[in-house]
Amino acid sequence: MARALPWWFNSLLLPLANICLAFFACAMVLWLLGVDVAYATNTMLDGALGSSEGLGYTLFYTTNFIFAGLAVALAWQAGLFNIGAEGQALIGGLGITLMCIYGQSLPMVLLFPLTIVVSALFGALWALIPGWLNAYRGSHIVITTIMFNLIASSFIVYLLVGPLKAPGQMAAVSATFTESTWLPTIESIAWSLGIAIDPSPLNISFIWALMCCAAVYIYLWRSRIGFETRVVGLNARGAKFAGIARKRIVIITMLLSGALAAFIGLNEVQGSSHQLQVEFVSGYGFAGIAIALMGRNHPFGILVASLLFGVLYQGGAELAFNIDGIGNDMIILIQALVVLFCGALEWMLKPSLVNLLRLNHPLDSKGGS
């Protein structure tokens, strides 16, 4: 008598097994390099989770990954592969910079919502052009969004060596914002509540990221427009029959996706560096693709994947700092292995695990037709 697979198999056991395999591969590489694996693991975990400072940095990076992952996943649900999160985040950062320079007299309770709106607007408008080109002119979204990344970064470089350049500075950065526009850090909030934690750039945009996760979930699985978005992504002809205007959905989805990507700037620009820098996105937009893949395009999956990436990022930095012979390349290698085993090879272990646990459930193939 056959049983269906228990629910925890696909959503807990399999990802866990994949992660273990990825870490095992990382350990092998470290071992081959002659590094003490136990010490390295300890350094990494301790660096990422062992102190309030390390945890703060981990969650700070997690915030970026959540925004990027959500941006990619939301577009993916409509069948759009938005790899332009990088550029949308840059332009969003520009919006934040303008807001922080020209709105510096506003109180934080007003400024924070306003920067959210303005950055969303900037990111959304940057994503609108590829979206419109796709909906009305049939341009391929991958090509246009990647081109828009290049345009965005050139544009920001132009602004930062020209109009927005901080006076008396050699580097291509904007002026540092006045301190009243900086997003409150979690540390300062905790301090005002009488809890002492070590300083880290973790700020209130982390809470905004968590709210975005919940909002994206409700949008996609509870709202009418989210339902229509998923139908467009699943079956374009079915969507036409259901009377759903694909063009409209593409435009709306790209706007929202661009807005989510733009929020990376909240965390990085307004929350941490307090000035616009050329390279502030530094690959988060592309990491969003891997995170969306690992998180199965689901907000809660993305939250978990972002946490994992946050740990890897912060722990990896500690590793590079503490152990000779390990540089930033190693961190990228570890990330790549995690993406490989958890994303690209996600079903690899399934048959053997099923046999191992004697769940006796043959592969569900519904006949490729």
Partner 1 sequence: MLAPALELRNIDKAYHSVMALNGASISIAPGSIHGLIGENGAGKSSLMQVAYGLVQPDGGSIFIDGAPVELTTPLQAIERGIGMLHQQASWLEQLSVFDNIMLAEPASGFLFQNKTKALAKLESLRREYGFKFSLTTKLSELDYSQRQLVDVLRSLYRGVRVLILDEPLALLSSTQANYLNSLLVLLKMQGISVVVVSHKLAVLHQLCDVISVIRSGAVTACLDPKQVSLREFSTHMVGREIKLPHPRVEPSKTQAKTLLNILGLGVNGAKSGRKSMAHPLLTRIELSVAQGEIVACVGLPNAGQELLLDVIAGLTRFDAGTIDLLQHQIRVNSRYKIKHARRYGIAYAPSPIFNVGLVEQLSMAESVYLGYQQHGFGRWGFASMKKKHLQCLRLMKDWGIVPRLPALQSGLFSGGNQQKMVLAREMSQQPNLLLLNQPTHGVDAGAVETIYRRLFGMREHGCGILLCSTDLDEVMSLADKICVFSRGRLIETLLAKNTNREELALLIIKEAQHG
Confirm or reject binding of residue 135 to partner 1 (CB under 8 A): no
Write down the least CB distance from residue 364 to partner 1, Å: 7
Confirm or reject binding of residue 222 to partner 1 (CB under 8 A): yes
In the list 28, 214, 242, 332, the residue contacting partner 1 (rule: CB under 8 A) is 242
Confirm or reject binding of residue 104 to partner 1 (CB under 8 A): no
308-347 mask for partner 1 (x: CB under 8 A)? ----------------------------------------
What are the start-end ranges of the H helices in 235-368?
A: 236-241, 246-262, 264-265, 284-294, 299-322, 328-339, 350-356
Confirm or reject binding of residue 168 to partner 1 (CB under 8 A): no
Which string of DSSP letters, residue by residue, matches 286-313? HHHHHHHHHTTT-HHHHHHHHHHHHHHH
Which string of DSSP letters, residue by residue, matches 61-116? HHHHHHHHHHHHHHHHHTT-----HHHHHHHHHHHHHHHHHHTTTS-HHHHHHHHH
Instruction: Print burial letters for 114-125: b (CB count within 10 Å at least 16), e (below 16).
Output: ebbebbbbbbbb
Write down the least CB distance from residue 292 to partner 1, Å: 17
Binding segment for partner 1 among 72-80, 84-92, 161-169, 215-223 (CB under 8 A)?
215-223
Write down the least CB distance from residue 95 to partner 1, Å: 27
CA–CA separation, 288 and 73 (whole Å): 8
Confirm or reject binding of residue 224 to partner 1 (CB under 8 A): yes
CA–CA separation, 270 and 289 (whole Å): 24
Structure tokens of 31?
């071992």
Please state, as a whole number, how many other Cβ atoms lie within 10 Å of the Cβ of residue 359: 15
Q: Give the footprint of partner 1 on residues 343-362 (CB under 8 A).
A: 360, 362
DSSP 3-state of 203: strand
Amino acid type, 87? G
Confirm or reject binding of residue 268 to partner 1 (CB under 8 A): no
Task: Return the number of the residue (42 or 360) whose C-beta is nearest partner 1.
Answer: 360
What φ, ψ does residue 174 adopt, rounded to 5°? -80, 170
Confirm or reject binding of residue 211 to partner 1 (CB under 8 A): no
Task: Return the number of the residue (137 or 366) whose C-beta is nearest partner 1.
Answer: 366
In the list 71, 74, 197, 244, the residue contacting partner 1 (rule: CB under 8 A) is 244
Task: Return the number of the residue (231 or 303) whose C-beta is nearest partner 1.
Answer: 231
Burial class (CB in 10 A: 0-12, 13-18, 19+), 146: middle
| Cross-strand partners of 174 | 165
Task: Return the number of the residue (79 or 87) whose C-beta is nearest partner 1.
Answer: 79
In the list 240, 283, 344, 351, the residue contacting partner 1 (rule: CB under 8 A) is 240
Confirm or reject binding of residue 137 to partner 1 (CB under 8 A): no
Binding segment for partner 1 among 154-162, 234-242, 266-274, 311-319 (CB under 8 A)?
234-242
Q: Using CB under 8 A as the criterion, which residues of the chain lie in contact with partner 1 when the complex forms?
A: 1-4, 218, 222-225, 227-228, 230-231, 234-235, 237-245, 360, 362-369
